[in-house]
Amino acid sequence: FFISICNGKVIMDKTLFLVCPTDCLEGRINEQYNTVNYFYTSLGNSFNINEVSLKNIQELIKKHSIKNIYFVLSSDNRFILDALEGQSIFKDKRLASFYKEIYEHKHLSNKTWITNNNEHLIISHFLHKNIEQLEQKLYSITTYPLTIKGLIFNSLNNNFLPIYSNLTVLNKHQLN
């Protein structure tokens, strides 16, 4: 719950969720998060922060006084799973770098983490990158603090999990 009290009145915070439309998480988010929710979609959350997207998000934030932003992906997102296998559902040039980045990070994580299931780690890394990019772009547009976080929907347990901290998600590893 994100609730504020102002002059004795309860005010529900407004939250923007950046989601993949193929995950169909909007209903679950509305059930789980008792806030006023807004949604912005991109395939696989491969969010390209171009001028048009940034302008749309800035307008949403300003118009609705949004204070919280979440990047959300499902653990069984078809774009992520496809990229992890080195395949591409769509032969779209805009998604090519997304697929390449996910696939390369899979190989990096396999070399540095001893586990058979790195999906949560890889999705966390990917969402952290998006969070950092969006934070840099939105830094100067609000007069109040803006919180940007990431969530992964665990489809097996039907719940939302926070992404791993940035300390456990390294971009590159170098051994001497």
Spatial distance between the Cα atoms of 47 and 20, rounded to a whole number of angstroms: 9
The string of pLDDT tens digits covering residues 31-84 is: 998 889 999 998 766 666 778 888 899 999 999 999 999 999 998 888 777 766
Q: Give me 55's structure tokens.
A: 């302008």
Rg (CA), the chain: 17
The string of pLDDT tens digits covering residues 129-157 is: 889 889 888 877 777 789 999 999 998 89
Judge contact between 137 and 131, C-beta under 8 A: no
Spatial distance between the Cα atoms of 128 and 162, rounded to a whole number of angstroms: 11
Q: Binning pLDDT at 50, 70 and 90, where does residue 100 land?
A: low
| Better-predicted residue by pLDDT, 97 or 130 | 130
Percent of the chain with pLDDT over 90: 29
Backbone angles phi, psi at 161, to 5 degrees: -120, 145
**pTM across the whole model:** 0.77
Spatial distance between the Cα atoms of 52 and 118, rounded to a whole number of angstroms: 33
